[in-house]
Amino acid sequence: MNHTKSEEVYSEALEHIVGGVNSPSRSYKAVGGGAPVVMAKGEGAYFWDVDGNRYIDYLAAYGPIITGFGHPHIAKAISHAAETGVLFGTPTEHEVKFAKMLKEAIPSLDKVRFTNSGTEAVMTTVRVARAYTGRTKIIKFAGCYHGHFDQVLVAAGSGPATLGSPDSAGVPEAVATEVITVPFNNQEQFQLAMDHWGDEVAAILIEPIVGNFGIVQPNKGFLEYVHAIAKEKGVLTIHDEVITAFRFHYGAAQDLLGLTPDLTAMGKIIGGGLPIGAYGGRKDIMETVAPLGPAYQAGTMAGNPASMLAGIACLEVLKQPGVYEEMDRLGAMLEQGILEAAKKQGVTITLNRIKGALAVYFTDEKVENYEQAENSDGEKFGRFFKLMLEQGINLAPSKYEAWFLTTEHTEEDIVETIKAVNNAFSQL
Ligand code: PMP
């Protein structure tokens, strides 16, 4: 495959854009370096780079593109916004319609508010939880990503009763010491942290199905336990459903799991590919937000008609009967094909899948927490990633990211992908 033009564009990008990318994970740093392919256009489950190479895409732009590229129903909605005004700085009917759709799909949302990104949505839920409880500490699970605001760029301390340290330069120590990190799926460690700090904790941030170290489900009873202890201690539960909302069914992961969080943050899919975030939850907690209450959050672009109309259109596509069943069916087919290829080629992998999202780890351990994902072979993943890319299959350039199916992938795409996996595995 020829990548001459991608290399040219990337080398120019390096001169003008810091690191050549507008989000660090887009670089190929985690897969052994090199110029990332520069994309020119997309259609359905495919995109083409500036050299004219076609790829079957499983990145889905890190999750949002669940209906593929250029979906006509969403394109029409975006065109309508472009023609009739993309921003007014006033209320619109679109945001009311969209808020009602979200509430109908996710029963824990009494009230919602739109933002421009997942980061903003999660950041605000933390502020609101602090305002509501009058407490400052938060608990998060190791390896879960919640955006790039200060409080969540914090790594685990050396034990559950140890406070965090900054994970990024520029995050003050004072912020990090407000954050407690515990391993996912570990009831004991969670209990220890709560015994030690429970009365000072405003909220627990939870990715109910983890999408930031592959795809990891909560073990049976784990999140039920977390929710119960939180309630006992007056700690709010915040579900970060930025990846999971509308990924696995028409609604949020909380409903699949039978959990009712106090607050929920969303993003990605609900914008139909346009910038968006949203948060919502229990009425009395949400009423802490300005102009009703003392917790401030705002946005010039928040609830803009383009994002609202694209989001509404995306949910309309996802509401069609059979959409999620088909992604599940193709996901199962892909899973089986990858597992068979691994067996045939003598490659050891662990595969986690939930419906149309899966993760392949080069490890012989099961993966239920971040440490196990971290222990998987990143160097091997890097080689696998590049072998797939060269065969026209685009994955996320990191061993920690999921493969996402869209409504546009077909059985033929899966067959082609499995063939490429076999070939890549044979060369590992
Ligand atoms: N929460 C989760 C679970 C995420 O995966 C992400 C982004 N990958 C975010 C929050 C942040 O969203 P955004 O990139 O839109 O700010």
User: What is the predicted pLDDT for the residue at 163?
Assistant: 66
Ligand 1 pocket test target in 268, 269, 270, 370 with most atoms within 8 Å of CB: 268
Domains, the chain, with CATH or none: 4-70+321-426 (3.90.1150.10), 72-318 (3.40.640.10)
User: What is the predicted pLDDT for the residue at 162?
Assistant: 55
Ligand 1 pocket test target in 65, 119, 301 with most atoms within 8 Å of CB: 119
User: What are the per-10-residue average pLDDT scores of the chain (428 residues)?
Assistant: 98 98 94 97 98 98 98 98 98 98 98 98 98 97 93 68 74 90 95 96 98 97 98 98 98 98 98 98 98 98 98 98 98 98 98 98 97 96 98 97 98 98 98
240 part of the active site? yes
Q: Residue 98 burial (CB < 10 Å; 0-12/13-18/19+)?
A: buried
Ligand 1 binding site (Cβ under 6 Å of any ligand atom) = 62, 117-119, 122, 145-147, 207, 211-212, 240, 242-243, 267
Distance 242 CA to ligand 1 centre (A): 6
Tell me which amino acid residue 176 is.
A
Tell me which amino acid residue 7 is.
E
CA angle 46, 48, 50 (to 5 degrees): 165
User: What is the predicted pLDDT for the residue at 168?
Assistant: 87
268 part of the active site? yes
| Continuous segment of H or E residues that includes residue 99 | helix 93-105
Altogether, the residues listed in the chain come to a count of 428
Q: Which residue has the tokens 């685009």?
A: 394
220 part of the active site? no
d(CA 128, CA 106) in angstroms, rounded, equals: 20
Per-residue DSSP letter, 26: G
Catalytic-labelled residue, pool 140, 268, 355, 399? 268
Give DSSP secondary structure letters for 311-372.
HHHHHHHHTSTTHHHHHHHHHHHHHHHHHHHHHHHT---EEEEETTEEEEESSSS---SHHH
